[in-house]
Structure 1
């Protein structure tokens, strides 16, 4: 998945804000407060960044964990210069530069490149850093003491229950149905979209949903509800005349140094300073290129009326695209399955911006970005926000609050951070604080569907922390 505001999001390493996890504890997830979970973030991390020379930042990182975390590097000093200009411009509108958003403070935008789990050569995925030569395993040896067995070409279809206890999993493999039994418990890790299907297919869910699937209800729980996601809205600004064009070879450059990756990452608020409300991922387009279309159309599915004005502006001017991510949506969506067939696609109702507070925060975030045109650099070039062709907003006064709300509704897209569809904690949670399915024994969920609420940043590091903590909870339960 390359390009647009979605680039390498799944690899970005952002822990979130301490208040995120204190909120989890207030929601009924005992022992998921910041002081409890922080060591689990460190447990996985094998940091290789430059901050380690400064003891003020080294204390916030671990160098010994299996998951390698580093910073993105590019080899274009001209682009680096432009990013420095952008940092100065953001400083002028109240978003300060910081060294490490996983350090003492999260508010601000990183001076260096963003942190991610993809060191040069290979992504530090869970398979690479935990199974292949990682803890308890060695090449091909599996996890703890070689006790992990991965069955390829298999698809889980439901949890096998005996009374109120999970005893195994039904799966299909090479057109055959197989039953695999558990000696202690079953752990589901099929993600925010897949885990609800497995639970519903097993009789765990709301009566109406199970009747539609012709499945007998075993436990009444709100499976598939409470869908949360980080949504993203971009706004593009012109800058200096198009630069870095090779006069002897005017064809657009295709190297990755000219591909619009996010190179900075920041966090700010418009009304609540207990934790960030918005994440900021700026992208820089230094010259007109077909890659711009691929970034915006292929990745985010924007239509020509959105992409063409940006391409046209980029033919004459550099483009700074400021991507705003709503961190703590109050809006909720839902996943609806119409079949227990594991290959059947569900209906996904995202519910973006259906809560007035979400729309207000995004509107005010856009208005804050518009102040960039008043900064020294941007005003010097007569910068403007690129006006897009948005038919749904045609009758509104351009630049009004109503227009920017319509703009946000028209351009909101997913960052692929779906979570909460089998959430833990609270009276309406599917799971208890130990991630066990309520009303059943021997069944646990460990994936993004269990998140009680969204973190202030990309979900990757938070899900890794969840898994590290779940491993300890399981060991404590069975081995003391």
Structure 2
């Protein structure tokens, strides 16, 4: 099940609020000149602009980035267990290097905070917001210049005209769907569903996602201080309302870690670990198992056996999968469903990395620190894998193939790249190739996944795009570039 953020603020209104910058090498593919790319010059200033505050306390940034407002004793125990194994701890001033540390979150006074909150708080008069509309297609002139969109509202179709351009930010699924219905996509697929092909581009290809496994592998013989009894305590809402702290402000994640399984310690991390203070069994099967798609059979044969234990989860997350999927349309009807085939675990590399992640989880659980906390590793055999010896690579391979799910970070279906790159959909100015004034700014343009939760990377995309659009607008007004006033026979041109 993939949730879609059909709300002002997008899926950032639904996520677990973890803010991660990513690893410097993650952004190489975002630039035409990869050799000239420098993280500290080209990327870091944008992140600081996102996060920066002025001295009066009034933000000039797009979002709040803060420390956790609530943790259980699990957080300290995991950090101590990591030290016991010789793993480094993250410096609090850093955001994504290798080792264990506490996450940063997009929270203000104990409440979720997104750029949408900032935008609405500013009450900008040059923005008109229309909600409950569903965009069906982009309107294009014969020269493929975007001049508006067709949208549906209360059963009727309407047109919104654009004077300078159209920017799609409907997400990896929504943007793909709109472009395909507009005749921009793979010619064969569009022909198959009787949509006229206007521009043949690989829209919907290159789908990739962070995958995770290892639910309820940690059992405790004592409470962690975050069970239903704590959530329902009359003191919890008081803490939340008066100080923005307490169990109601938990982000769910209490610690993060980044690892490279390669011998080269300078290599980009290929595993992230997310330490969660609850397991799937926490609510005794009322909600979480349905959200994760756990069948009744698997629940009864595996998870239900754990009801006498307190469970927690350390999720090993595959950061850079080699599997690639796609998104297609079911039909040419505007309200038809999309067909999502992520092709999870279709590359053996992805399975191997997740198995290595489970092995690291087991090492953590078996430390002296975790045993003193009453932790043990779940040795119940997963249904369908009983033919293999528990703990063997064959067993974990079977386990991973049965119990791996999305981390809800799909990207890449409108890949950014060079004009001559046949696998790309948009250029480095976020403009759809072959069109004029049609842009895409969301996770679908990311060529590859970043090393960690992608919300921060998508904020970054928006910051970069805003600078590009402001500069294009500057040129479109026929204003002079300062250096050109020294050119002989100078003419102030309309550059856009």
**If the length of structure 1 is used for normalisation, what is the TM-score?**
0.82
1:109 equivalent among 95, 100, 117: 100
- 1:301 alignment counterpart: 293
Aligned-pair distance for 1:228?
1.1
Which residue matches 2:460? Answer: 465
CA contact (8 A) 1:25 1:33 kept: no
SS in 1 for 2:377: coil
Give the Å deviation of 1:395. 2.2
Asked if 1:73 is matched to 2:66, the reply is no
Which of 137, 149, 170 in structure 2 is aligned with 1:169?
149
Aligned partner (choices 115, 133, 136) of residue 121 of structure 2: 133
8 Å Cα contact 1:24/1:33 also seen in 2? no
Point out the more displaced range, 118-127 or 223-232.
118-127
Q: Provide the rounded CA distance (Å) in 2 between the counterparts of 1:239 and 1:387.
A: 10
TM-score, normalising length from structure 2? 0.80
Q: Which residue of 2 is the match for residue 447 of structure 1?
A: 442
Contact 2:62 2:115 in 1 (8 A): no
Matches within 5 A, 1:169-318: 169-238=149-218, 241-243=221-223, 253-255=230-232, 257=247, 261-271=252-262, 273=265, 274-285=267-278, 291=283, 293-294=285-286, 296-304=288-296, 307=299, 309-310=302-303, 312-313=305-306, 315-316=308-309, 318=310
Q: Establish whether residue 330 from structure 1 lines up as the match of residue 309 from structure 2.
A: no
Contact kept? 2:224, 2:277, Cα under 8 Å: no
Deviation at 1:292, TM superposition (A): 5.2
Are 2:390 and 1:398 aligned? yes
CA contact (8 A) 1:23 1:33 kept: no
Deviation at 1:32, TM superposition (A): 8.7
In the TM superposition, residue 85 of structure 1 has moved relative to its aligned partner by: 2.0
Worse-matched range after superposition: 252-261 or 294-303: 252-261
> Is the contact made by 1:260 and 1:284 (CA closer than 8 Å) also made in structure 2?
no
* Runs of 5+ consecutive residues of structure 2 not aligned to the other structure: 4-11, 237-246, 476-496
Asked if 2 retains the 8 angstrom alpha-carbon contact of 1:47 and 1:63, the reply is yes
* Bigger Cα displacement from structure 2, 333-342 vs 219-228: 333-342
* C-alpha RMSD of the superposition: 3.3
Relative distance call for 1:214 and 1:475 in structure 2 (3 A) is same
Contact 2:252 2:278 in 1 (8 A): no
Q: How many corresponding residue pairs?
A: 441
Shift of 1:125: 2.0
Task: Tell me the distance in 2 between the aligned counterparts of 1:397 and 1:154.
Answer: 54
The answer for unaligned runs of 5 or more in structure 1 is: 53-61
1:307 Cα deviation from its structure 2 partner:
4.8
CA distance in 2, matches of 1:334, 1:264: 32
> Alpha-carbon deviations, 1:70-106, whole Å to 9, x = none?
12222x7xx32x4322211122334322233744x61
Cross-structure match for 1:59: none
CA contact (8 A) 2:62 2:114 kept: no
SS at match of 1:266: strand
SS in 2 for 1:264: strand
Compared CA separation, residues 300 and 351, structure 1 to 2 (3 A): same
377-386 or 212-221, larger mean C-alpha shift: 377-386
Partner Cα separation in structure 1 for residue 182 and residue 427 of structure 2: 19
Structure 1 match to 2:239 = none
Contact preservation (8 Å) 2:28, 2:37: no
Partner of 1:43: 49
Write the distance in 2 (CA, Å) between the matches of 1:177 and 1:450: 28
Q: Select between 399-408 and 174-183 the one with higher mean Cα deviation.
A: 174-183
2:298·2:383 contact (CA, 8 Å) conserved in 1? no
Q: Secondary structure at the match of 2:213?
A: strand
- 1:363 deviates by 1.1
Aligned partners of 1:32, 1:358: CA distance in 2, in Å? 29
Match of 2:336 in 1: 344
SS of the counterpart of 2:21?
coil
Render the CA deviation track for 1:175-231: whole Å, top value 9, x for unaligned: 222222211111111110011111111111111211123111111100101101111
CA distance in 1 between counterparts of 2:53 and 2:332 reads: 42
CA 47–402 in structure 1, closer or farther in 2 if over 3 Å, else same? farther
